[in-house]
Structure 1
Amino acid sequence: MVAIKKDFIPKSNDNRPGYAMTPAYITVHNTANTAKGADAKMHADYVKNPSTSVSWHFTVDDSDIYQHLPLTENGWHAGDGTDGTGNRKSIGIEICENADGDFDKAVANAQWLIKKLMKDHNISLDRVVPHKKWSGKECPRKLLNQWSAFKNGISSSDTPSKESPKSYPLPSGVIKLTAPYRKGTKVLQLQKALAALHFYPDKGAKNNGIDGIYGPKTANAVKRFQLMNGLKADGIYGPKTKAKLKAKLK
């Protein structure tokens, strides 16, 4: 498990309002800070600065989770006003995007944290929401286009992916959606590699859809992986996608 490091905002700060809160929602954000070093520790220091006007409860990166506020107090993170439900009744979680971090691991750690918080505070999965719900802001910007997959990952996150998954063999050549569907060992290798990084071909289906058939759901898993990793999201497995998968599976 990943230890949660409590590093609270001083009570004297304006961004620690201190209103009593009973959490009813969990709100997910991306930091939108891609600078090297913009990890959870840096954000912990940032929210403690007396001049900072915003606040949230947790920041998660690929190795650490920092807690900035008690869960009995609200933060200013949802953008829906001083009396808004997002600000006054939701736990705010920021997921780091620092260029020198592993975003997929940070996401997996956040999914683990959310699952724990859901259990501890009796919050249902339908009340795990994006920042966009409260203010309309396109946040969490790297997860909105695959929000369902992100929430599916919460359901399966018994432990966080702090450690890199083991190496999987990756097929050569190009694999894409065709009629009839392509089948065989190469497709199976690709599906297993995607699943190792939580991009399941068909979450909840038998063996999570790992069946050696490159159908629409496997193509969609490739698209989701590409989208999350700065590649053209065309659902076609080729050299660039292979290289990115290989880097993530080290």
Structure 2
Amino acid sequence: MSTYTNNYIPINKYTRPGLKLNGVKKLVVHYTANPGAGADNHRKYFSNAQVYASAHIFVDKTEAICIIPLNEVAYHANDIQQRDSAGNPYRGVAALKPNANFLSIGVEMCLEKDGSFHSDTVERTEDVFVELCKKFGLDPIDDIVRHYDITHKNCPAPWVSNSQKFADFKNRVKAKMSGESVSKASPTKSTTSSPSSSSAATGSLKSKVDKLRFYSKPSWEDKDVVGTVNKGIGFPTVVEKVKVGSAYQYKVKNSKGDTYYITAADEYVTVSGNVKTSAPTKSSAKSNSGIKSVGKIKIIGVSSSAIVMDKPDRNKAKNLGTVKLGDTISISGSVKGSNNAKGYWEVIYKGKRGYISGQYGKKI
């Protein structure tokens, strides 16, 4: 049984040109950079998009969809991000020269609303790559590459900033191909819950879903994840509700008194009793006062959330967090920046300067 379903988009000049691949030398992993949008959301988008971009397979926590036949070209990895000293386009994977789109298959990993990879998405992507490696006779260690490796685009960003996670991913694919069981202590699986990190809820907080992540501090970053809790499991003490970026988390304690942070979204957790919401910290207020606001923008044009970047260059920036569709955020101006014809809004995010792509904000 295949790890993905075929649901092809129509042939068109932008996203499915109908050209045949010259071979499959490598498999390229990407991320969608579109928090909250699943595989089928992207299939629908690329069915009508008028941009020269696409990929073969999109993976989320519940399904994987192949939108372009694996013997056809997808426009996923031939963009020019850098040039060498001679002025030629940077091509960091020799086997994919001169055009990676004609020699590789692209797989996109979808993001959760908080901008993270769900553990089920990672595991499903591993299984997709196992099937593709077997199909095309490829070695996961040598033949799975990041978009970054080809053009130095910051994609998939979590595995560019932490290359060890990418190496661990390939090792797990290799192990699965060899019929080995993947240890639950591996990076992807290390977030499984255990009695020492959480306990059955006794009226304070419990999870409504399996593998709900919790963090060592108020954060949505992968690096701060310390475990997960399954459905019906939770924390006996909820201290308070705190704002983290544009969303909220509960500050909780386990039975040993250790403090953690977990989403406060109603669709993921249920809480009994009254929980106070913390006021903004003084340090945050002081930080905000150091940057002059010239107005606000409303987030538009995204399926779920807009990414806040640390610099006005969506190909090289690091993600600071996200702002939900329909929410507003203060701005201190706008800049042209790089790699975006619409420029960038300069926003005030958690007391610091950040940048949101111009097309995703409307001044109000």
Q: Is the 8 A contact 1:20 1:73 kept in 2?
A: yes
SS at match of 1:240: strand
Alignment partner, residue 209 of structure 1: none
Higher relative contact order (CA 8 A, sep 6+): 1
Deviations 1:137-168 (A, max 9, x none): 1111122312111112212346999xx99x74
Mapped partners of 2:197, 2:58: distance in 1? 38
SS at match of 1:76: coil
Matched residue type, 1:62: K
Q: Is the 8 A contact 1:143 1:150 kept in 2?
A: no
Distance change (3 Å), C-alpha of 1:44 and 1:172: closer
Matched residue type, 1:25: K
| Residue 128 (structure 1) aligned to one of 126, 144, 167 | 144
How many residue pairs get aligned? The number is 187
**TM-score between the two structures when normalised by the length of structure 2:** 0.44
Deviations 1:204-228 (A, max 9, x none): xxxxxxxxxxxxxxxxxxx9x99x9
Distance change (3 Å), C-alpha of 1:172 and 1:99: closer
Distance change (3 Å), C-alpha of 1:172 and 1:41: closer
Alignment partner, residue 216 of structure 1: none
Alignment partner, residue 7 of structure 1: 7
Distance change (3 Å), C-alpha of 1:72 and 1:229: same
More strand by share: 2
Give the RMSD, CA atoms, in angstroms: 3.8
The range that moved more, 143-152 or 55-64, is 143-152
Higher CA-based Rg: 2
Matched residue type, 2:125: A
Residue 150 of structure 2 corresponds to residue 149 of structure 1: no
Offset at 1:60?
A: 0.2
Query: 5 Å matches for 1:1-40?
Result: 3-21=3-21, 22-34=23-35, 36=36, 38-40=37-39
Query: 5 Å matches for 1:63-212?
Result: 63-80=62-79, 84-99=98-113, 103-125=118-140, 126-144=142-160, 145=162, 146-157=165-176, 168-171=193-196
Gaps of 5+ in 2: 81-96, 199-210, 227-257, 269-364
Identity %: 26
Gaps of 5+ in 1: 174-196, 198-222
Q: Is the 8 A contact 2:33 2:111 kept in 1?
A: yes
Structure 1 residue runs of 4 or more that deviate by more than 4 Å after TM superposition: 158-161, 231-235
Q: Is the 8 A contact 2:59 2:121 kept in 1?
A: yes
Offset at 1:231?
A: 5.7
Offset at 1:11?
A: 1.5
Mapped partners of 1:234, 1:16: distance in 2? 38
**TM-score between the two structures when normalised by the length of structure 1:** 0.63
Matched residue type, 1:141: A
More helix by share: 1
Mapped partners of 2:137, 2:105: distance in 1? 13
Matched residue type, 2:32: T
Distance change (3 Å), C-alpha of 1:229 and 1:170: farther
